[in-house]
Homo-oligomer: A and B are copies of this chain.
Amino acid sequence: MAAISVDLIISAQWTIPVIPKGAVFEDCSVVIDQGNIVAILPTTEATRKYIALEHTELPNHVLIPGLINAHGHAAMTLLRGYADDQPLQNWLEKHIWPAEQQWVGEDFVRDGTELAIAEMIRSGTSCFSDMYFFPDYAAEAASHSGIRSQIAFPVFDFPSAWGRGPEDYIHKGLQLRDDYKDRDLTRIAFGPHAPYTLSNGPLETIATYAEELDSHVQIHLHETAIEVANSIKEHGVRPIQRLVELGLLSPRTQCVHMTQLDEQDISTLVEHNAHVVHCPESNLKLASGFCPVTTLLDSGINVALGTDGAASNNNLDMFGEMSTAALVAKAVSGNAGAVDAHTALQMATINGAKAMGWEDQIGSIEAGKSADLAAITLGTIESEPLYNPASQLLYTNAGSRVSHLWVNGAALMIERQLQTLNEQEVLTKAKQWQRKIAHNR
Contact = CB atoms under 8 A, between A and B. Distances in A.
A328 interface: yes
Contacts of A433: 385
A289 interface: yes
A336 B381 CA distance: 34
Given A85-B330, A285-B327, A287-B331, 14 more contacts: A81-B385, A81-B392, A82-B387, A84-B341, A85-B341, A115-B381, A119-B381, A284-B328, A286-B330, A287-B338, A313-B395, A314-B391, A315-B395, A380-B427
A385 B78 contact: yes
Query: By CB atoms of chain B within 10 A, which of A80, A326, A330, A401 has the most?
Result: A80
Contacts of A394: 84
Contacts of A340: 84-85
A87 B119 CA distance: 35
Nearest to A401: B400
Nearest to A396: B315
B285 A395 contact: yes
A317 interface: yes
Contacts of A399: 397
Interface in A388-411: 388, 391-392, 394-397, 399-401
A177 interface: no
B287 A336 contact: yes
Contacts of A392: 80-81, 314
Query: By CB atoms of chain B within 10 A, which of A91, A283, A320, A384 has the most?
Result: A384
A339 to B, nearest CB: 8
A397 B317 contact: yes
Given A284-B330, A331-B284, A396-B315, A385 B85 contact: no
Contacts of A313: 395
A285 B335 CA distance: 9
B387 A85 contact: no
Contacts of A385: 78, 80-81, 430-431, 433-434, 437
Interface of A: 78, 80-82, 84-88, 90-91, 115, 118-119, 122-123, 281, 283-290, 313-315, 317, 320, 324, 326-328, 330-331, 333-338, 340-341, 379-382, 384-388, 391-392, 394-397, 399-401, 423, 426-427, 430-431, 433-434, 437-438
A110 to B, nearest CB: 15
A434 B381 contact: no
Contacts of A423: 381
A284 B335 CA distance: 10
Which 6 A-B pairs rank lowest in CB-CB distance, beginning with the nearest? A385-B434, A400-B400, A284-B327, A81-B391, A314-B395, A85-B340
B287 A86 contact: no
Contacts of A119: 381-382
A397 to B, nearest CB: 6
Contacts of A430: 384-385
A290 B331 CA distance: 8
A222 B66 CA distance: 41
Contacts of A90: 336
17 contacts: A81-B387, A81-B391, A82-B387, A82-B388, A84-B388, A85-B341, A284-B330, A285-B330, A285-B336, A285-B395, A286-B330, A287-B330, A287-B333, A290-B331, A317-B382, A385-B433, A387-B434
A427 B379 contact: yes
A111 B289 CA distance: 42
A395 B316 CA distance: 10
Given A284-B331, A287-B335, A327-B324, A427 B81 contact: no
Contacts of A336: 85-88, 90-91, 285-287
Contacts of A431: 384-385
A315 to B, nearest CB: 5
A392 B82 CA distance: 10
A380 B77 CA distance: 13
Contacts of A289: 331
A360 B90 CA distance: 39
A317 B91 CA distance: 29
